[in-house]
Homo-oligomer: A and B are copies of this chain.
Amino acid sequence: MKNRLTRRAFIATTAASLVSPAFASVRSRDGALLSLFADDSKGATRPDSQAEPDSWKDAGVLDLSRSPYAKLKTVPVRAVEIQDGFWSKRRKANLGASIPSMHDELVEHGRMDNFLRLEGMSTAPQKGPVYSDSDIYKWTEAVGLALQSGDQPELRRTTEAMIRDVVAAQEPSGYLNTYFVGDKAPRRMQYDVQTTGHELYCIGHLLQGAIAYYRATGDRTLLDAGIRFVDNFLLPNYGPGTNRKGIVAGHPEIEMSLIELYRTTGKREYVDLAGYILHGDERIPLRREQITYMFCGIPFTSRTKLEGHAVRAMYACCGATDYYLETGDPQYWKTLNTLWDDLTAHQLYVTGGVGAREAGEAFGDAYELPNATAYGESCAAIGNMMWNWRMLAASADAKFTDVIERSLYNGINSGMSLDGKTYCYRNPLAFDPSGDWRDHEDPEGRIRNPWYDTTCCPPNIERTFAALPGYFYSTSSEGVYVHLYDNSVMNWRLHDGNGLKILQQTRYPWSGSVKLTVSPATPAEFAVFVRIPGWSARNTVKVNGEPVSGARPGAYLPIRRRWSANDTIELSFDMNTQQLRANPAVVEDRGRIAFQRGPIVFCMEKLDQSTREEAANLAGYTVKPEGPTASRFEPDLLEGVIVLEHPASLSRSAGEGGLYVAGEPSKAAETPTTLRLIPYYAWANREPSAMQVWIPDTKA
């Protein structure tokens, strides 16, 4: 495909001309790209000869390096190498199967043709829903994050060609969207289109993809296209004031993207615009249902509970936390904590999934957490993790990391098959392949599919797995925080510039033993904050073999001392299997037990049960709380998992016969059995089978 970059070289970016001196360093780029803008008459970004040439490499998943209200600073993805262990298998599937196959799916389903058509390179009609451009951008973000862990030349070439095709579709005005073109062009940014048309949602994802790609490669091509949209099309025409039209996000996403764009360019207007969008614009008339569903359009700080479309709500919370990290607005912090309390007291599945309802892909009422009909969209669980990552940065409070871990290992991890080629859109906690809860499922009862016409979830999971190294650590003025545990090595630096290497050796999450080897470049006094998971009741921590006291579940244990090369920290967490019970207000979980071991939530699939032939359905099984539970690592099962075995009963008549009986139910037909439980994330990787997380207690 020919390079059409030069054709667009006339399009100016005005962003850099407004950059404040503090941000000069981030304006660097490689020379080849710079030359494109050399003759830009409107004032192109100029290279700053004082800047560090590779400063774009130092930004993490977010760039919080200058965020005044971020207690924790991110560590670059490239600074952490995840080695052979739990996540390496998932990341290998992500890079080796998921990202390439999703590329092919996107191309096959015309998502690139949508762009090429506008350049006269395709005659295919527009394909996919109104938000289809975002899938390309989110995939690009996944690639960008993946490339931060190491170059993949072929993937990079493919992506850069796609980026060129995307940018070539941008109009001279800066507008870029492949749906609102032709006879739909007059509808652009109309208020009714803003609520449903996803124009700014797409641009938000473009910006995130562009920033990730820039942080991987220094290539600003897509980033500058995003800046052109914002600077040339959006800011002059939309926003507060009588000379501009109003904005409603419709699907929140632009808010966090604008703030990350500010962090990348230093242009403060982006923060202000995000704040304006988070506040809502009274000029735009909205119905109550829209305000609920979209989770935008009224002041974010007037919200008191999570409601409406779960992904929208989570992304809005991400944007609002980003806004807090830059402004410190106490009303935002208060609201964010109110919403977080609502999340964890009323709305969070034990898998870390969120969004109970299929209708509106929405949050339910407090305690409305059905299992079979759970929506738990993969994107919503990811949004939940992204939000908690920002709350963690703002507070250094491990309660947010507990939510990150719960979502990541369970309700997000379940979203991609072990082979990386199929995906769950929704992530229920109970499933019957003969049922028809199949809006996103196939007729044979397979809940995982390689493609969805609304394919938001697959690239969202891809970007999350690709970003994973960036979630392992943070730094603060006091030292370094250790959030996640897996075999890995970090090579980064403390705030004073002292280099720091941390080696993790562990079989986490199967084992609760973790050995950290801490090696500062120069011996120095600082704190290593090791996370004690909330689920771990009993913990031991040793430094160089000597016990350290003070470990509390759900808190970071600061180990302040003078560290020298090859100092060790040994952590031992409580890996006893836990029987979880839900608040009695969760009606579907009443009298039921869920099993959790370490961060892993378990489930039973019917196909693993020795009595599967005798059971009409899973309703006949009840577990004996007294146990005992046996756990065993099975290396050949589901790429290697711990399996739990637990005593249970099977009532063969359960699930048969009439709906209602008067008096006590008969217990005559109960036979003892032993349940086999597998990690929830690994369900639905074999033939379709009934599954449940919450299993009735024999006593109930």
A residues apposed to B, CB below 8 Å: 288, 292, 307, 344-346, 348, 350, 357-359, 364-373, 430, 432, 434-437, 443, 535, 537, 578-588, 590-592, 594, 596, 617, 619-620, 625, 651, 654-665, 696, 699-700
| Pair A655/B583 contact, Cβ less than 8 Å | yes
A35, B541: Cα distance in complex, Å: 102
Q: Which residues of B contact A307 (CB under 8 A)?
A: 436
- Beyond the given A578-B663, A584-B665, please list 11 additional residue pairs across the A-B interface where CB-CB is below 8 A: A292-B436, A307-B436, A365-B432, A537-B662, A580-B661, A581-B665, A583-B654, A583-B656, A584-B619, A585-B619, A585-B655
Q: Which residues of B contact A370 (CB under 8 A)?
A: 370, 373, 587-588
10 contacts between A and B (CB under 8 A): A288-B443, A345-B657, A365-B434, A367-B655, A369-B659, A537-B662, A582-B660, A583-B654, A587-B588, A588-B588
Q: Which residues of B contact A584 (CB under 8 A)?
A: 619-620, 651, 654-655, 665, 696
| Pair A659/B587 contact, Cβ less than 8 Å | no
| Pair A660/B587 contact, Cβ less than 8 Å | no
| Pair A659/B617 contact, Cβ less than 8 Å | no
A663, B665: Cα distance in complex, Å: 26
Shortest distance from the beta carbon of A514 to any chain B beta carbon, whole Å: 21
Shortest distance from the beta carbon of A186 to any chain B beta carbon, whole Å: 22
Shortest distance from the beta carbon of A205 to any chain B beta carbon, whole Å: 27
| Pair A371/B665 contact, Cβ less than 8 Å | no
| Pair A590/B654 contact, Cβ less than 8 Å | no
Shortest distance from the beta carbon of A692 to any chain B beta carbon, whole Å: 9
Shortest distance from the beta carbon of A653 to any chain B beta carbon, whole Å: 9
A36, B323: Cα distance in complex, Å: 76
| Pair B700/A591 contact, Cβ less than 8 Å | yes
Which 7 interchain pairs have the tightest Cβ spacing?
Answer: A585-B619, A365-B435, A591-B591, A585-B655, A578-B662, A700-B700, A591-B700
Q: Which residues of B contact A596 (CB under 8 A)?
A: 662
Q: Which residues of B contact A657 (CB under 8 A)?
A: 345, 583
| Pair A346/B659 contact, Cβ less than 8 Å | yes
Given contacts A358-B359, A365-B437, contact A659 B582 (CB under 8 A): yes
Q: Residue A590 contacts which of B345, B436, B620, B696 (CB distance < 8 angstroms)? A: B696
| Pair B619/A581 contact, Cβ less than 8 Å | no
Given contacts A590-B591, A655-B367, contact A662 B579 (CB under 8 A): yes
Residue on B nearest A578 in the bound complex, by CB: B662
Q: Which residues of B contact A292 (CB under 8 A)?
A: 436
A532, B288: Cα distance in complex, Å: 51
Q: Which residues of B contact A435 (CB under 8 A)?
A: 365-366, 368
A292, B436: Cα distance in complex, Å: 10
Q: Which residues of B contact A367 (CB under 8 A)?
A: 619, 655, 659
A620, B591: Cα distance in complex, Å: 14
Given contacts A590-B590, A619-B584, A619-B585, contact A659 B344 (CB under 8 A): yes
A365, B619: Cα distance in complex, Å: 14
Residue on B nearest A651 in the bound complex, by CB: B584
* Residue among A288, A371, A437, A583 with max Cβ neighbours from chain B (10 Å): A583
A111, B682: Cα distance in complex, Å: 55
A537, B662: Cα distance in complex, Å: 10
Residue on B nearest A699 in the bound complex, by CB: B699
Shortest distance from the beta carbon of A138 to any chain B beta carbon, whole Å: 26
Given contacts A358-B359, A658-B344, contact A371 B587 (CB under 8 A): yes
| Pair B436/A365 contact, Cβ less than 8 Å | yes
Q: Which residues of B contact A432 (CB under 8 A)?
A: 365
A42, B660: Cα distance in complex, Å: 58
A37, B443: Cα distance in complex, Å: 56
Residue on B nearest A289 in the bound complex, by CB: B439
Q: Which residues of B contact A586 (CB under 8 A)?
A: 659
| Pair A580/B665 contact, Cβ less than 8 Å | no
Residue on B nearest A348 in the bound complex, by CB: B659
Residue on B nearest A656 in the bound complex, by CB: B583
| Pair A583/B699 contact, Cβ less than 8 Å | no
Q: Residue A373 contacts which of B368, B437, B594, B658 (CB distance < 8 angstroms)? A: B368
Q: Residue A661 contacts which of B581, B625, B699 (CB distance < 8 angstroms)? A: B581
Q: Which residues of B contact A348 (CB under 8 A)?
A: 659
Q: Which residues of B contact A655 (CB under 8 A)?
A: 367, 583-585
Q: Which residues of B contact A587 (CB under 8 A)?
A: 370-372, 430, 588, 619
Q: Residue A654 contacts which of B585, B591, B664 (CB distance < 8 angstroms)? A: B585
| Pair B580/A660 contact, Cβ less than 8 Å | yes
Q: Which residues of B contact A535 (CB under 8 A)?
A: 662
Q: Which residues of B contact A359 (CB under 8 A)?
A: 358-359
Q: Which residues of B contact A590 (CB under 8 A)?
A: 590-592, 696, 700
Residue on B nearest A288 in the bound complex, by CB: B443
A581, B663: Cα distance in complex, Å: 7
| Pair B430/A585 contact, Cβ less than 8 Å | no
Shortest distance from the beta carbon of A693 to any chain B beta carbon, whole Å: 11
